[in-house]
Structures are given as structure tokens and as C-alpha cells.
Amino acid sequence: MESGRGETGPGWQRPGALLLDLSGVLYDGSTVIAGAREAVERAQDSALQVRFVTNTSQKTRASLLAQLRAMDFAVQESQLFTAVDAARQWLSQRDLRPYCLVHRAIASEFADFDQHDPNAVFIADAAEGFTYHTLNRAFQLCMRGAPLLGIGTNRYFKADDQLLMDAGAFIRAVEFAADVEATIIGKPDRAFFQQALASAGVAPQQAVMVGDDVHGDVEGALNAGMRACLVRSGKYRKGDENRVEGDFRLVDSVVEAVQWVLAQAD
């Protein structure tokens, strides 16, 4: 079943790019979503530019690519856009010394940065790394004027059969305590989507984002001027489609989303 929304809109053009979220769209924990592999293949074989955009921050870029390939997804390295890469770029462009409150699995991605006497704070999904001690350190640095960089505003994600708290609430906690506003580097930030679109050489009006997060994926894409499909897989909860305003498509899974985008592109 699909909703009838999302077919026309002001200034929309025939799709030239398809942006796919990873977790909850292509896989759920360690399980590939039924038909997702073939759907990605169909999109890759079409005239569409395919990009993969993720806020996932518990894996390095290399291990994320390895996981996708182990699951048999046809993904080129240049098609993968991660919020962790965007954070590295942001910090290095500003020559900052970040305190990285990140998962230990991705600490190596920040090994090139001078992290002594930090003058910036970066918070990603640190999971067990979130303790009073680490959050308080982030708070103290922000109180001293360090800019706060956050991976995303995701509330939770789904891994296998569990919902798990994401980084959003921890970033909000430090914002609240230090009375500062974080710069959000991944979805739903418009600049993050724009990087992926620029690499595909298409305007937002020619792109469709497919995701399971109604705020990060769908609302973010709409705010960036794209079309969006919300899938009923991954973290999707009944009624999520009513949590945001705007015109988007509700589909069962990435299989139906790809079918719809290909039909629009013809």
C-alpha cells in the first residue's frame, strides 16, 4: 500500500538522483531488508545517480563499506556520504582541536587531529561512551566557548529487534546545560544533503531521498528542496507520517520506493 502524496510539487523535475539512507532502509541490524539488494541494483543500472547518505557513527567509513559489500550491495566508495566524514571536514577546515565524544570503533577516524587542550566538541553516537564524566567534559568545554558539533538530531535507531537511543538526546543535553546551540553536521542539515547532490550534479528538485526517519530523512530532504519517501521499515512507527508537514510519499519499503522513483524518471 502506498500513499498518493509526493507525485507533483512546485518546481519538481524528473528525478536524476536517488539518495538512500542505510540503516532501516537497506538493512535492519544484520538483516538485509527483503528485496533491498535487488532494488539497489535496479537503481544502479538505471540512469539515476545513486548516493548513500548516513548519520551512522558506530563504524568507520571502511568498515561501513565492507559491511555493505558483505551484504552484497552494489555500492561505489564515491557514492557513500557519511556524517562522520562531514564532521572531519568541518573540524579540519577550521583547524580545531576536537574533544571527540564518539564510539570507540570510530576513534581512529579522528586520530589525525590534535586532541590535546581541546577547543571544540564533537558528539556522535558514543553508545557506552556516554557517561556523566564524558558529557560533563563536553559541557565544561562548551561553557568555555568551544563550539559544539553534533552528528545529527536522530532520536533513536533500530538494530535487530531493539530501538536504541541515538546521539540526539545527548547533544540536546549538552546544549541545554551549557545554553549553546549545536551545529548539526549530518541529516537533517541541508548542507549535508547538498554535498551528495553536488557530487551527483543534480538540483534538489531532481532528487528523491528515501529514509526511515521522518525527521532526519524526510523532513530534512523536504527542507532541502527534495522529494522524499518514508519507508515502513527500520525504525518506522505507525503514525510517523503524521509527525511532519509537507508532501512526501509513504511506501512499504525501499523496493516500492525505487519502483516509484524509476517510474517518475521514465
Residues lying near Mg ion in the complex (CB under 5 A): 21, 23-24, 212
Cis preceding linkage at 118, omega within 30: no
**Pairing outcome for strands 120-123 and 98-101:** parallel
CB of 114 to Mg ion, least distance (A): 33
SS3 of the chain: the string is CCCCCCCCCCCCCCCCEEEECCECCCEECCEECCCHHHHHHHHHHCCCEEEEEECCCCCCHHHHHHHHHHCCCCCCHHHEEEHHHHHHHHHHHCCCCEEEECCHHHHHHHCCCCCCCCCEEEECCCHHHCCHHHHHHHHHHHHCCCCEEECCCCCEEEECCEEEECCHHHHHHHHHHHCCCCEECCCCCHHHHHHHHHHHCCCHHHEEEEECCHHHHHHHHHHCCCEEEEECCCCCCCCHHHCCCCCCEEECCHHHHHHHHHHHHC
87 vs 141 by CB, closer to Mg ion: 87
In the complex, the smallest distance separating the C-beta of residue 10 from Mg ion, rounded to whole angstroms, is 27
CB-nearer residue toward Mg ion: 129 or 220: 220
Report, in Å, the least distance between residue 212 CB and Mg ion: 4
Nearest distance in Å: CB 187, Mg ion:
9
Amino acid at 204: P
C-alpha cell at 144: 568555555
Q: State which residue, 109 or 213, has the beta carbon closest to Mg ion.
A: 213
Give the shortest CB-233-to-Mg ion separation in angstroms: 9
Name the residue number minimizing CB distance to Mg ion.
24
Residue nearer to Mg ion on the CB measure, 110 or 192? 192
Pick between residue 23 and residue 49 the one whose CB is nearest to Mg ion. Answer: 23
Task: Kindly state the smallest distance separating residue 26's Cβ from Mg ion, in Å.
Answer: 9
Q: Quick one: 206 or 233, whose CB is closer to Mg ion?
A: 233
In whole angstroms, give the CA distance from residue 115 to residue 106.
15
Cβ closest to Mg ion, residue 28 vs residue 109 = 28
Output the smallest distance, CB 193 to Mg ion, in A.
14
